[in-house]
């Protein structure tokens, strides 16, 4: 485990933070003009929708017992969820992130929703384990979308099966789209997406459909070793 220092709080890392304690941590960071550091903590849930943060938010290796919601919020830095465990969904609809969203080696047991979000940096989702779908419909990503060696799995919620799809309908990716070695239980939907870099699906497994109808792929589409049920052009 990487060393962790948080001099602003005497809370132990195994204590479940209440919403009041979370607000105190945020205010301390804002007053000190420092990154909001909730790394390695246990949170019941995290609702920070429709807020503006002048710094990044660090949730590395945090455990969130419910969902994370930052709908329509602005974060002037990175949103770091590396190696975190989210037992609900991650909701970033219409959010503006002026850094990167980092979900490397994270586990998310609900949907990941970035519909209409604006991400100025990268989406770093390497080795992500997700139960549900990922949607970037109408989202804009300033740099690369990295999803190497990830697993996007079907999820059963109350008898309803949510397909492990990745939606990029009408998304704009200004860099590369890299899904090398990833597994999707569902489909990859690139309908009307604009991707200015290369699309690398080498050795990816897409158990249903690879859909590229009306997509604008400005560079290479790499399909070496890619497995899919059907390619829909």
Q: Which long-range contacts (CB under 8 A, 24 or more apart) does 48-52 make?
A: 48/73, 49/73, 49/91, 52/76
Phi, psi of 28 (to 5 degrees): -60, -45
pLDDT, position 1? 44
Residue 201: strand, helix, or coil? coil
pLDDT, position 11? 44
The list of the chain residues with pLDDT below 70 reads 1-13
The tokens for 147 are 């999803």
What gap in Å lies between CA 227 and CA 233, rounded to an integer? 16
pLDDT, position 14? 72
- Spatial neighbors of 166 by CB under 8 A, at least 6 apart, are 133, 134, 135, 136, 147, 152, 184, 186, 187, 188, 189
pLDDT, position 6? 47
Confirm if 146 and 124 have CB atoms less than 8 A apart.
yes
Confirm if 199 and 218 have CB atoms less than 8 A apart.
no
Confirm if 99 and 81 have CB atoms less than 8 A apart.
no
What gap in Å lies between CA 205 and CA 230, rounded to an integer? 12
């Amino acid at each position: 485990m990487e060393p962790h220092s948080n001099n602003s709080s005497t809370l132990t890392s195994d204590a479940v933070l209440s919403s009041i304690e979370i607000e105190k941590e945020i205010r301390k960071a804002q007053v000190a003009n420092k990154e909001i550091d909730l790394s390695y903590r246990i949170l019941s849930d995290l609702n920070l929708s429709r807020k503006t943060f002048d710094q990044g938010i660090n949730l590395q290796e945090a455990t969130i017992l419910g969902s994370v919601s930052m709908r329509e919020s602005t974060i002037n830095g990175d949103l770091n969820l590396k190696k975190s465990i989210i037992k609900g969904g991650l909701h970033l609809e219409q959010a503006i992130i002026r850094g990167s969203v980092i979900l490397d080696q994270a586990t998310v047991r609900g949907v990941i929703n970035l519909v209409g979000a604006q991400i100025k940096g990268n989406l770093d989702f390497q080795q992500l384990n997700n139960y549900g779908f990922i949607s970037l419909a109408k989202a804009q990503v300033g740099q690369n979308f990295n999803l190497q060696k990830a697993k996007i799995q079907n999820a059963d919620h109350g008898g309803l099966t949510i397909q492990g799809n990745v939606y990029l309908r009408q998304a704009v990716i200004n860099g590369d789209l890299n899904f090398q070695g990833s597994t999707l239980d569902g489909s990859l939907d690139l309908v009307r997406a604009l991707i200015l870099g290369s699309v690398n699906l080498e050795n990816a497994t897409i158990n249903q459909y690879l859909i590229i109808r009306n997509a604008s792929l400005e560079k290479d589409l790499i399909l070496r070793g890619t497995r899919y049920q059907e390619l829909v052009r």
